[in-house]
Structure 1
Amino acid sequence: MNVSADFLPEVSAEGGVTTGEVARLLGVAPTTLRSWDRRYGIGPAARQGGRHRRWTAADVDVLRTMCRLTSAGTPPAEAARAARAGVDPPAGRVSRAPGPLPLGRARQECRGLARAAVRLDSQAMDEQLTAVLDRYGLPAAWDEVMMPTLHSVGRKWETAGERYIEVEHLLSWHVSGALRKVSPRRPPVVGAGLSLLACAPGESHTLALEALAATLVQQALPVRMFGAALPADALEEAVRRTGPDAVVLWAQSRATADRALVARVEAIEWGVRGARRRPAVLVAGPGWTGRQPPETRHPCGLTEAFAALAAVGSR
């Protein structure tokens, strides 16, 4: 988060502002500031009475650099050395070609995004999500940065007595927003078939399906995304009205993976007599594991799902 020293409260005669005031301005927990001071020497130059921390504008500038570098995934010790010296660490050479991220780079991007999420730093999350999408494209950004970070944050609150639910919700919101901002990277594909994407009735987890929708948008392939918990009757009506080449039905849990609904959608017909068509139905998500109907495709992962839809649409 970029916070200018101009926004600091007026520096008092005692030599600065308190840790609590700085924490609120930077969006960093006071315990994090104290930890950085203890471990890396990123602390105030002056202490009132030898004990109480008083932060000056110069101290806050060092903190701002520390926040920016750790948000970008720089290890804290390295970020602290650079912040104290007033320089950025040397950047590694990163390819801008779409595809898998180098392992070390992917881990660094995940760490940076997770740290920004834990700090509830919306600006840093938006900047990092935009950067990974621009640099790597979909689906690499999803498979190797967004999804692993979401999973790690989810595991964090599951093992911490629900202390980090707000972190997961905020991160999910910003990932969703970044995916909706994706724009086509090529001219529209002439004659490409339409894909209809929907969550099964009762299913509220949409992010993976949003990533698939964004991938289709990026490749200029037509898509209709209906989101969470689409009622069965509404799904059938949407299929009849749009005549899609393919329907993807997402289920996160076994409780929402409805095999009967798949059969109903596969049976829908449209078109003139003698040339009627039916959609290809793909089931996606962990809820279908071991439950997908016979001969119904169950792609594993974003890359496989996109390839399957591109193949169906080009028939």
Structure 2
Amino acid sequence: MKNTLHKSLLLFSGLFFATSYAQEHKVIKLWQDSIPNAIENPEYKEVQTLKDSALWSVEKVTEPTLTLFKPQKPNGTAVIICPGGGYHHLAINKEGFKVAKWLNTLGVTAFVLKYRLPDDAIMKDKRIGPLQDVQRSIRYVRQNANQWKIDTNKIGVLGFSAGGHLAATLSTQYNKETYKTEDSTTARPDFSILVYPVISMKDSITHKGSRKYLLGDKPTKETVAFYSNETQVNSETPKTILIHATDDKSVPAENSLQYYIALKEHGVSAEMHLYEKGGHGFGMGRNSTHPWVKACEQWLKSSKYLTTNKN
């Protein structure tokens, strides 16, 4: 009886949070009709973790969404946020909602992407599932830019950890055809913000969990190379700011270093902030605001993404 009551209370609190949150911030279904590459699996249900009555993390995503955070005075810039979680779950509060609220203070319109996590149980090809969702996100925001006072040339992507791998994959493979598109709207982000990102799938520096969930237990050398984003950079890759900590034991800083070197070699504008300490997963800052937040704000300013929207 107690277990049944406990489960009922958890279900009610989850429904209450989802309802109240949807009222405050618009939740947009990413795919209006059928979801490409999807396998119907009625047994596969989304799992949400709440902390202090707030949505903290999400697993087993089958219905990808964008949660819109609108600033009081939009400046024309928009950012799609990809939370991390090793391609196993999404740290959607720490690396999603909190980041969106910070971006709003800068006048940036933010969208938190709840993307599908790679799983053979719900995808025909799990390697492209997350990329399909983030490509669709950029196109959707670009196609609907007018209603949110967004400049179509100022739409960026921000990713943490495995979400950083997804953001970097988008930045290097935005023109890969992963689903049938209705028009020629580009999925290329105008800029990338990568925070302690997984960049490479190579044994020496990758995050093993992220690689396993995305590529499986025994990926081929060709697959590993293709999803190692430092090997996919070209002159059209968007300008990028990279954030990492030297003492990151989960995702070595060499991930950011190799991506930075590749960007530099191809003449792409790049900035990197490598901190001595911080470990992994520090988000906006564990005890107070992390220095990268101010550094990123300055980079956005110098890149002309925080200027007043004249539309």
User: What TM-score, normalized by structure 1, do the two folds share?
Assistant: 0.35
- Higher RCO, Cα 8 Å, sep 6+: 2
User: What TM-score, normalized by structure 2, do the two folds share?
Assistant: 0.35
